[in-house]
């Protein structure tokens, strides 16, 4: 395993970080429940993965208050307890749930209990955008961070981010952040904070952690024929996951890339790839292949959903991420009949896009800022029979 320094913290973090938002679930992940955060974690399989990762040098583990319906922190607390002094633990304050100053203490106290620890290495304000940032400042989040840094309940303060680069820079400049977490992959190079934000944060001494390096698996799970032909044409043969991860690690400003692995096979592959995760290692010809793949994806992808399931559960029962996945797949692959069958026969009427009540709750929670009710109408128009 290779390690990089996480900004001004001086901490050496494994280039591969373990993201705990998509842990294996009991019974496996079928098409319907893959995006359901209420499904119980398969603790035996997940624990085996956690222990294997640690044994092979992974030392950065990332979770958050809402992951797996709140069970990710609980599971991680139990699983990491024997290794607590050997690993770096990151979790996040659910900024959108904070109603008053007392909630800062309430959430942190609950998270420390869930994680069975006296301190959290990296505590992030979760999913900041322009609106949430304004609310956090007004409620005194920065004073709270100062307090808990001083009393040792957290070692470093940071934030995760989903908005445009202008507000990202404003946030970076507003506090002495130890680190930040941004979405970054070859498809999203100029999206949200993007490369401009990556370079800017690093120049300020903030360590940069990357989320969605595989775009929620969208760059690796099923590969359209046109994309695979481009990968096959490259002078060096790599899996789609290896291309995507190596592209992220090619940037020297990146400290660690979080992968939301949900199988031992994925973990083993990613650890193998991480053994050669060196900045500036990709040649110009290799980067050109990645650029060509990206352009084809841009022409094929209709809805920019990463499957994070922040929109779940829908109060009306709609399985939003799966609806969007089926819709995108209907344009990207030739087996359109499969997508129609899944929509009309596997999804229940409650789960289908047509059951959207247009309440707008999901749109407020979407990190990708997708106009969800509007897009769900397109899904039903295309897939309904």
Average pLDDT over residues 86-90: 97
- Does 334 have pLDDT greater than 80? no
3-state DSSP helix/strand/coil percent for the chain, to nearest 5? 45, 15, 40
* 32 vs 363: which has the higher pLDDT: 363
- Does 337 have pLDDT greater than 90? no
- Does 33 have pLDDT greater than 60? no
Is CATH 3.40.50.920 correct for 3-285?
no
> Per DSSP, what are the bridge partners of residue 122?
90, 156
SS3 125: strand
pLDDT tens, 238-283?
999 999 999 999 999 999 999 999 899 999 999 999 999 999 999 9
Percent of the chain with pLDDT over 90: 70
Q: Nearest Cα to 265, choosing from 224, 321, 221, 308? A: 221
SS3 228: helix
* 273 vs 191: which has the higher pLDDT: 273
> Per DSSP, what are the bridge partners of residue 91?
123
Q: How far apart are CA 291 and CA 305, in angstroms?
A: 20
Q: What is the pLDDT of residue 39?
A: 82
Domain ranges of the chain: 3-285, 320-383
Q: What is the pLDDT of residue 31?
A: 46
Strands 154-161 and 120-128: parallel
In a 13 Å sphere around the CA of 202, the CA atoms on its Cβ side amount to 20
SS3 155: strand
Q: Nearest Cα to 67, choosing from 47, 91, 44? A: 91
- Mean pLDDT lowest for which of 88-92, 207-211, 333-337? 333-337
Block residue for tokens 């952040």: 177
pTM of the model: 0.87
DSSP track, 65-88: TTGGGGHHHHHHHHHHGGGGGGSE
- Does 181 have pLDDT greater than 80? yes
Per the prediction, the chain carries an average pLDDT of 91
Q: What is the pLDDT of residue 379?
A: 87
DSSP track, 39-58: SPB-HHHHHHHHHHHHHTT-
């Amino acid at each position: 395993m290779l390690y990089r320094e996480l900004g001004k913290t001086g901490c050496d973090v494994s280039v591969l970080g373990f993201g705990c938002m998509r842990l294996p679930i009991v019974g496996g992940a079928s098409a319907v429940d893959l995006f359901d955060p209420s499904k119980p974690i398969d603790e035996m399989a997940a624990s085996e993965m956690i222990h294997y990762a640690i044994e092979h040098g992974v030392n950065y583990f990332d979770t958050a208050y809402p992951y797996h319906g709140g069970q990710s922190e609980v599971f991680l607390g139990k699983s990491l307890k024997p290794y607590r002094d050997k690993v770096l633990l990151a979790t996040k304050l659910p900024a959108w749930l904070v109603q008053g100053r007392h909630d800062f203490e309430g959430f942190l106290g609950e998270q420390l209990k869930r994680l069975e620890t006296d301190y959290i290495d990296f505590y992030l304000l979760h999913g900041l955008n322009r609106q949430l940032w304004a609310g956090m400042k007004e409620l005194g989040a920065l004073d709270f961070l100062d307090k808990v840094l001083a009393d040792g309940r957290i070692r470093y303060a940071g934030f995760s981010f989903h908005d445009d680069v202008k507000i990202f820079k404003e946030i970076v400049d507003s506090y002495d952040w130890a680190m930040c977490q941004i979405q970054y992959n070859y498809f999203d190079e100029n999206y949200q904070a993007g490369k401009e934000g990556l370079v800017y944060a690093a120049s300020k001494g903030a360590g940069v952690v990357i989320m969605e390096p595989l775009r929620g698996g969208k760059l690796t799970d099923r590969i359209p024929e046109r994309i695979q032909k481009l990968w096959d044409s490259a002078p060096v043969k790599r899996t789609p996951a290896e291309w995507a991860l190596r592209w992220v690690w090619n940037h020297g400003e990146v400290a660690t890339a979080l992968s939301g692995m949900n199988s031992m096979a994925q973990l083993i592959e990613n650890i193998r790839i991480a053994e050669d995760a060196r900045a500036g290692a990709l040649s110009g010809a290799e980067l050109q292949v990645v650029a060509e793949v990206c352009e084809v994806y841009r022409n094929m992808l209709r809805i920019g959903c990463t499957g994070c399931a922040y929109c779940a559960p829908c109060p009306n029962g709609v399985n939003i991420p799966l609806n969007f996945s089926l819709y995108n797949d209907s344009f990207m692959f030739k087996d359109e009949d499969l997508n129609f069958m899944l929509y009309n026969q596997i999804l229940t009427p409650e789960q289908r896009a047509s059951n959207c009540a247009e309440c707008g709750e999901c749109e407020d929670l979407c990190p990708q800022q997708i106009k969800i009710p509007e897009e769900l109408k397109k899904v039903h128009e295309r897939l309904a029979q």
